[in-house]
Amino acid sequence: MAHTPFRVDVLTPTGELFGGEVEQVSTRTVAGEIGILAGHAPLLGRLEPAELKLHVSDGDVKRYVQIGGYVQVAQEGNVLLLVDEAFPVEEYSVEDAKQRQEKAATRLAACDEGTEAHRLALAAKQRADALVRLADRL
């Protein structure tokens, strides 16, 4: 079933990952899984580590892994995703994710509780955990 296409731009700090018309975007924000179709209500949300799917057409789905970032649905219906880090789904590896998790855990252990450094390290650890969990869902 074809949906009305709408404009989506996916930007990363090192370049544009995707720019064009799609029928649906599925991703995950802090509030949970979200699917965006044409005419979605305006939205501004924080992204969590998850799979990012861009349904260009029925047979053509672009799949990426996002680490974090923001999604914005503008009043005009254009969708903008700012992702701090993203890569094609094929490049995902559990080993890399586990390595990141370990690094985050060491960093967290080195911080005193109650400090900003601790809060940031904890967030990084949670992101790394989510990334490892993603292995079962891809």
Nearer to another protein, 4 or 115 (CB): 115
Q: Give dist(CA 16, CA 116) in Å, integer.
A: 32
Minimum distance, C-beta of residue 96 to another protein, in the bound complex (Å): 11
Query: How many C-beta atoms lie closer than 10 Å to residue 61's C-beta?
Result: 14
Q: Does 110 bind another protein (CB under 8 A)?
A: no
Rule CB under 8 A: which of 26-55 touch another protein?
29-31, 41-46
Query: Near another protein by CB under 8 A, which window of 54-62, 68-76, 90-98, 128-136?
Result: 68-76
Nearer to another protein, 61 or 107 (CB): 107
What pairs with residue 7 in β-bridges?
A: 21
The token pair at 60 is: 């053509």
Choose the binding region for another protein from 49-57, 76-84, 89-97, 128-136 (rule: CB under 8 A).
76-84
Residues forming a β-bridge with 123? none
CA–CA dist 8, 14 (Å, integer): 17
Distance of CA 94 to the CA centre of its chain: 17
Within positions 79 to 98, which residues make up the interface with another protein, using CB under 8 A? Answer: 80, 82, 84-85
| Separation of alpha carbons 49 and 65, rounded Å | 7
Residue 14 or 136: the one with the smaller Cβ distance to another protein is: 14
What span, in angstroms and rounded, lies between the C-alpha atoms of 127 and 60? 28
Binding site for another protein (CB under 8 A): 11-16, 29-31, 41-46, 70, 72, 75, 80, 82, 84-85, 111, 115-117, 119-121, 124
